Amino acid sequence: MRLTDTGDLWWKTAVVYCLDIETFMDFNDDGVGDFEGLAHRIDYLAELGVTCLWLMPFYPTPGRDDGYDIIDFYGVDSRLGHHGDLVEVLRTAKDRGMRVIADLVVNHTSDQHPWFKASRSSRDNPFRDFYVWRDEIPKGAPTNVFPDKEDGVWQLDEKTGQYYLHNFYHHQPDINLANPKVRDEIAKVIGYWMELGFSGFRVDAVPFLQQDGDPGVDPHELLRSLRKYLTRRAGDSVLLGEVNLPFEEQYEYFGGEASDELTMQFDFVGMQNLYLSLARQDARPLADSLRERPVLAQESQWANFVRNHDELTLDKLTEAERMEVFEAFAPDEGMRVFDRGIRRRLPTMLAGDPRHVRMVYSLLFSLPGTPVIFYGEEIGMGENLEQPGRLAVRTPMQWNSAANGGFSRARSRRLVAPVTPDGFGPAHVNAADQRTDPDSLLAFFEKLIRRYRASVEIGWGELTIIDAGVDCVLVHAIQGTEGSMIAVHNFSSDPQVIDFALPNGMGSNAELVELLRDGGVVADEKGRVSLALEAFDHRWLRVHSTDDKRLS
């Protein structure tokens, strides 16, 4: 088995773990998670195999949008600790071989930010141009990101008689990115956190860098300048972008062949087609999206995910396709949000079937790219639908079966959020029980991560979709300079038998060694392989020629 350090391109084979500090671990028992609690759980993450922590916003905030409404880009929310506690987390993570990235929210601030308070004080205030103001609402204004909460993207400020832009909530005014002084401030923020030890940033809501009614903002030029600045500070830093757009537009945000904008992007198109495939028990929608993925430069990478901290958006599917997924996994209106997404976690959507859940996560780690995990996925946490909107999936981490799931010893009414109710609550789903169970989902994640880290080609190799002759089975090959593998995933609740040909270059009579179980199979003289699959089966097969018996 070979684990690799990819140096400056470490993120090509990383395992990214996203967490919200306030719901991860409460160390001082005030009901709110904190940096000290996270520091005491770094070893758990290291044992899991995490190599990069993504911290959701930890900045001072009024708390009207779960931390994405920021009042100080240089500060630390006092509920979570102070700068010294944060630095201790960074040091501890580094000691365990983990890097840390932070959310970079440069679209907007809170309306309580000192910039905006000054901006709205008068039309001639020096900070007025830090935001986007208009005398009238421009024609053809776009729909707000939260159509069920906001009527539009322009809000009248009665004191100054002008409208300010807010693509998100009205209490989150958009920053004027066309202003060079604003860009300088963003660079200072990046430089500040890099000096403290961060390895990069997850860039929030990238498409909204192009602001309504302001053609002077070129988001690509902005990203190129940020990437250059970041690279000068640390050549191995990363910009992971949230870009929910069609593939051809996403490719532009990588910088195309130049690869000089975002380092990584989430594959939203692939994620949405994954759920369509799950709903239909038909692998073809996902296979088609994988074929349509643009081929990236070596310095770029796709970030794969099953679930994130927002709603599970389905906006890139057709209306009919979206309704298929809704009917399969969110049959009740209360499980849906914004008419485009689902506010549930994977295990509850799949009725807790461990075979089905494991097949999906096996697929996640075998797809070419870098896997991103949302906290609690590794133990199969559910959601709390009694919480509003996106908060349904942002419940406290379930560490053990004790009160509050071991997240905090505070009284339950003091918790920052209520724990997941019974069924998927701490009594049934928690890390402590699973750490001692070799057949648990947590143990399965640990195995997947070990195999993923040993299979360098997943991050670096070339993808080939193989026709298995059965619509419900996805077979894909990844070929790299240091090895090749075949992954097989049955989306059906019925057993299947498949027969397929190995791609060119893998040879006849090749031996395929199982990576997730014992055994293997040998291709025939024509390079064909036959496999019998159980319901929701998943197989990883390392390809060896007959004269190379080494284990990967």
Fold of 463-544: Immunoglobulin-like (2.60.40)
pLDDT of residue 261 exceeding 50, the answer is yes
Q: Is 242 a catalytic residue?
A: yes
Helix axis angle, 284-292 relative to 268-280, nearest 10°?
160
Q: What is the pLDDT of residue 216?
A: 67
The residue length of the chain stands at 552
Categorize the per-residue pLDDT at 139 as very low, low, confident or very high, splitting at 50, 70 and 90: confident
Please list, in sequence order, all residues whose beta carbon lies within 8 angstroms of the beta carbon of residue 38, skipping any fewer than 6 positions away: 19, 21, 24, 25, 89
> What confidence tens digit (pLDDT) does each residue in 408-437 have?
999 999 999 999 998 999 999 999 999 999
Q: What is the mean pLDDT of the chain?
A: 94
**What is the average pLDDT across 275-284?**
98
How far apart (Å, rounded) are the C-alpha atoms in residues 489 and 360? 8
pLDDT of residue 8 exceeding 90, the answer is no
Residue 514 token pair: 């199982």
For residue 94, what is the enclosing H or E element? helix 83-95
* Residue 242 near residue 204, CB atoms below 8 Å: yes
How far apart (Å, rounded) are the C-alpha atoms in residues 452 and 515? 10
Tell me 175's DSSP state.
B
Q: Does domain 114-165 have CATH number 3.90.400.10?
A: yes
Amino acid (one-letter) located at 480: G
Q: Is 511 a catalytic residue?
A: no
> What confidence tens digit (pLDDT) does each residue in 190-242 have?
999 999 999 999 999 999 887 655 556 899 999 999 999 999 999 999 999 99
**What is the average pLDDT across 346-371?**
98
pLDDT of residue 110 exceeding 50, the answer is yes
User: CA-based angle 397:538:374, to the nearest 5?
Assistant: 20
User: CA-based angle 294:295:299, to the nearest 5?
Assistant: 120
How far apart (Å, rounded) are the C-alpha atoms in residues 286 and 110? 38
Q: What is the pLDDT of residue 212?
A: 58
pLDDT of residue 360 exceeding 80, the answer is yes
* Residue 496 three-state SS: strand
> What confidence tens digit (pLDDT) does each residue in 11-56 have?
999 999 999 999 999 999 999 999 999 999 999 999 999 999 999 9
Amino acid (one-letter) located at 403: A
Characterize the bridge pairing of strands 52-55 and 16-19: parallel
How far apart (Å, rounded) are the C-alpha atoms in residues 137 and 526? 67
Please list, in sequence order, all residues whose beta carbon lies within 8 angstroms of the beta carbon of residue 139, skipping any fewer than 6 positions away: none
Q: Which CATH superfamily hosts domain 7-106+178-452? A: Glycosidases (3.20.20.80)
**What is the average pLDDT across 463-477?**
97
Q: What is the pLDDT of residue 141?
A: 83
Among 147-151, 267-271, 511-515, which is the least confidently predicted range?
Answer: 147-151
Q: What is the pLDDT of residue 3?
A: 40
pLDDT of residue 1 exceeding 50, the answer is no
> What confidence tens digit (pLDDT) does each residue in 281-325 have?
999 999 999 999 999 999 999 999 999 999 999 999 999 999 999
pLDDT of residue 550 exceeding 50, the answer is no
How far apart (Å, rounded) are the C-alpha atoms in residues 173 and 242? 19
> What confidence tens digit (pLDDT) does each residue in 496-549 have?
999 999 998 787 789 999 999 999 999 999 999 999 999 999 999 999 875 444
Q: Do domains 7-106+178-452 and 463-544 have the same CATH topology?
A: no
pLDDT of residue 183 exceeding 90, the answer is yes
**Domain coordinates in residue numbering, the chain:** 7-106+178-452, 114-165, 463-544
Of the candidates 20, 66, 77, 204, the residue annotated as catalytic is 204
For residue 162, what is the enclosing H or E element? strand 162-165
Radius of gyration of the chain (CA): 24
Does the pTM surpass 0.85? The reply is yes
pLDDT of residue 551 exceeding 70, the answer is no
Of the candidates 242, 260, 324, 378, the residue annotated as catalytic is 242
